Amino acid sequence: MNPSALPLDPPSPSAIGGVCTRVLRQTGEAVLRITHLTAGTLNFLGQVLQSLGRLLRGQSQMRAKDLLMQLDETGPRSVPIVALVCGLVGLILAYMGAAQLQRFGAQSFIADLVSVGVVREIAALMTGVILSGRVGAAFAAQLGAMQANDEIDALRVMGIDPIDHLVLPRVLALTLIAPMLTAMGALVGLAAGWLVAVSTFGILSADFIARSAQALTVNHLLVGLGKGTVYAMLVGLAGCRQGMASGRSAQAVGQATTQAVVRAIVWIVAAASVLTVLLQRLDW
Amino acid sequence: MKAVAAALVTVEGLSISAGGHVLQHDLNFEVRAAEVLAIIGGSGCGKSTLLRSLVGLDAPTAGHVRYGGTDLQAASPAELAAVRRGFGVMFQAGALWSSMTVGENVMLPMEMFTKASAEERTQRARKHLADVGLADAFDLDPSALSGGMRKRAAIARALALDPPLLFLDEPSAGLDPPTSAQLDTLLMSLRDGQGMAIVLVTHELDSVFAIADRVLFLDAQTHTMVPPASPRWLRDHGPTAVQAFLRGREAHSASPASEVAA
């Protein structure tokens, strides 16, 4: 007789109890972990808001030169990669959209699809995702390395608030630069869509521009730029939060960097979902 | 007879721990003006943790650290910031801010807490760097400095606001003997010339005998301190294990704190 065909013994009550205990313990640990994580994030957010309040009251320890340096780090240096990705995504959107619309003889609506899609959603989303990989990860790595080298403690012990000095310029720089990067990404995406429409699907250039102008409203523009700003702020907060909470080893800094990117992307997607539904409901 | 100077820092019933383990308990001592107090003890006895508690970076599990009338544990953020501007700290690896030049590192505290003009800040930073033998390092990045130079630059930064009190974590560790001797000379000149109090954590016995007025021994076995005394007195008349430590042999079996208590 094949031993594998033998009927299994029913699990003993003690084994069932052990499994239940393990499941309960793991559930409890997960709940505690999530609670701790959420409390830490909310505490960090509170500190950033307090720091922003000090800035508005003229009591901040943030230096203007640090903000300018971060603007330079996050803005101009992100332009090529944002342009490349937004251009390619605009091209894909136009090509796939036109191919589907062509089946119904409606390829002239490609301009509506590309202009509204890119300006309202795609440019902001892609800019946010790129910034999370390029800038958010850099923030986490910089601050994590500073934590490991006692540089943040050296600030604290001198009475210099690390949130004012390190976090606020980074988050502000990213928030200020985001509308410009998003607008630039949208322009490049539109240009890529126009290229596909004109060169592949025979749409007249003037028709594309006219339809785009007709389809796009100020609301679309404001929503796109607003979303880009919110996503960039989330990237900045995620990067700085992970960097400031990093451990003091090289491994911990690596983990903080990875978590910064993952967290930023999750926050962006969650924010995109909420904003999209909310703005549609508000008929914006 | 030399008069006892006023206490700048008073430590009362302090207990410190790390990772859930008690490192030291019931620490009572004071730091006086114009003295060098060396904190010594075997590895893992809590020297650096004690230093972090003294400067308010780690919260003790019990007890108080008072600066004048301010209890560090009960201080408001504004009081804490004011207390912190009254002392300088040098971390074990220097902890220079890597995004700034050496000169900017020294100037940042002045920029934050004084009304000195940019020119005055530059002059003062150059002077502090010259005092520690780094006159040519003003425009260098911290990454371009050797370990010993980083420590000296960190001391220059700690001196930026001319504080009356300096905390140094292993200032001589990893330095060659001539550089270590130069550092000792610098610390003595700060004590004797400016009346500065210096608290240093160290393993370097040569430095302890060269510059320390008093030594605080932390016992890793009993988790208590031996009351501060001069290094020579402790070497010749202190508890057996402290004598052994100060003669260059680690304490293993004896428990000096209990001997003192006895």
Say yes or no for a CB contact (<8 Å) between A155 and B93: no
Work out the mean pLDDT of chain B and round it to a whole number. 88
Interface test with A, best of B48, B51, B108 (most A CBs within 10 A): B108
d(CA B7, CA B234): 22
Of A31-40, A110-119, A238-247, B74-83, the least confident: B74-83
Task: For chain A, report the end-to-end CA distance as a whole number of angstroms.
Answer: 72
User: What ranges make up the beta strands (E) of chain B?
Assistant: 7-18, 21-32, 36-41, 62-67, 70-71, 87-90, 165-169, 197-201, 214-218, 225-229
Structure-derived torsion over alpha carbons of residues A194, A199, A203, A207, reported in degrees to the nearest 10: 40
3-state secondary structure A259-280: HHHHHHHHHHHHHHHHHHHHHH
Q: Is the pLDDT assigned to residue B30 strictly greater than 70?
A: yes
Q: What is the pLDDT of residue B249?
A: 59
Residue B22 has φ and ψ, to the nearest 5°, of: -75, 125
Using the Cα atoms of residue B117, residue B118, residue B123 and residue B129 in order, give the sign of their dihedral: positive
* Sequence spans of domains, chain B: 98-162
Mean pLDDT confidence for A238-247: 95
| Distances B53 to B7, B14, B28 between C-alpha atoms, Å | 17, 9, 13
Q: Is the pLDDT assigned to residue A10 strictly greater than 50?
A: yes
Other beta carbons within 10 Å of B110: 20
Kindly report, residue by residue over B182-193, the tens digit of the pLDDT. Answer: 889 989 999 998
- Its pTM stands at 0.84
Kindly state the helix (H) or strand (E) to which residue A82 belongs, with its residue range: helix A79-102
3-state secondary structure A103-118: CCCCHHHHHHHHHHHH
Mean pLDDT confidence for B104-117: 93
Angle at the Cα of A74 from the Cα atoms of B104 and B150, rounded to 5 degrees: 25
| Unique residue bearing structure tokens 């009927």 | A7
Mean pLDDT confidence for A14-31: 88
CA distance B242 to chain A (A): 31
Say yes or no for a CB contact (<8 Å) between A160 and B57: no
d(CA A82, CA A65): 25
Q: CB distance from A146 to chain B under 8 Å?
A: yes
Give the SS3 label for residue B251. Answer: coil
Q: Contacts of residue B150 in chain A, CB cutoff 8 Å?
A: none
Kindly report, residue by residue over B49-94, the tens digit of the pLDDT. Answer: 999 999 999 999 999 999 988 999 889 888 888 898 889 999 988 8
Q: What is the pLDDT of residue B254?
A: 45
- The pair of structure tokens assigned to B128 is 């502090």
Q: What is the pLDDT of residue A90?
A: 93
Mean pLDDT confidence for B95-115: 93
Kindly state the helix (H) or strand (E) to which residue B205 belongs, with its residue range: helix B205-211
Residue of A nearest to B80 (CA): A159
Other beta carbons within 10 Å of B224: 18
Q: What is the pLDDT of residue B183?
A: 86
Q: CB distance from A248 to chain B under 8 Å?
A: no
B214, B230 Cβ separation under 8 angstroms: yes
Kindly report, residue by residue over A79-118, the tens digit of the pLDDT. Answer: 999 999 999 999 999 999 988 888 888 887 889 999 999 9
B185, B177 Cβ separation under 8 angstroms: no
Say yes or no for a CB contact (<8 Å) between B91 and A160: no
